[in-house]
Amino acid sequence: MQADRHTIVLMQTSQNRVTRTFMDYDSISQAMDGICGLYERKLKELNPTIRDITYDIGDLYNFIDGLADLSALVYDHSIQAYLPYDRQWIKQKTFQHLKKLAAK
């Protein structure tokens, strides 16, 4: 079942190693929501006077590609271990996540 797969997002925002951090979530969907939230906060920082900020998937992909490093570890119950996923996988999952949100 996808819903309850603990997900750890590993991230480094710049070339400086001190920017390495991680965030953990109860599901893949929550993790993708978290990544979108990071981007939205960044947009608000850059555009403090704009109330309703909109962006498209290309903008989000540019943000993801602009990070020095980004990957995810997703818990797999069948092997009782975390499986690593790369930036490309994260982009695919954020796209699916936003598509689902848009359909609501």
Name the residue type at position 40.
Answer: E
Higher pLDDT, 12 or 102: 12
Q: Which two tokens stand for residue 94?
A: 């954020």
Q: Which two tokens stand for residue 90?
A: 């994260």
- The structural domain count of the chain equals 1
For residue 26, being part of any structural domain is answered with: yes
The C-alpha angle 80, 84, 85, rounded to 5 degrees, equals 135
Q: Which two tokens stand for residue 83?
A: 């499986």
Q: Is the pLDDT of residue 102 over 90?
A: no
φ, ψ for residue 69, nearest 5 deg: -155, 140
Euclidean distance between CA atoms 90 and 95, whole angstroms: 8
Euclidean distance between CA atoms 93 and 33, whole angstroms: 10
For residue 1, being part of any structural domain is answered with: no
Q: Is the pLDDT of residue 101 over 80?
A: yes
Count of other CB atoms within 10 angstroms of residue 7 = 22
For residue 2, being part of any structural domain is answered with: no
For residue 12, being part of any structural domain is answered with: yes
Q: Is the pLDDT of residue 1 over 60?
A: no
For residue 39, being part of any structural domain is answered with: yes
For residue 53, being part of any structural domain is answered with: yes
Structural domain span for residue 12: 7-103
Q: What is the pTM for the complete model shown?
A: 0.89
pLDDT, one tens digit per residue, over 27-86 is 999 999 999 999 999 999 999 998 888 899 999 999 999 999 999 999 999 999 999 999
CATH code of the domain covering residue 28 = 3.30.2260.10
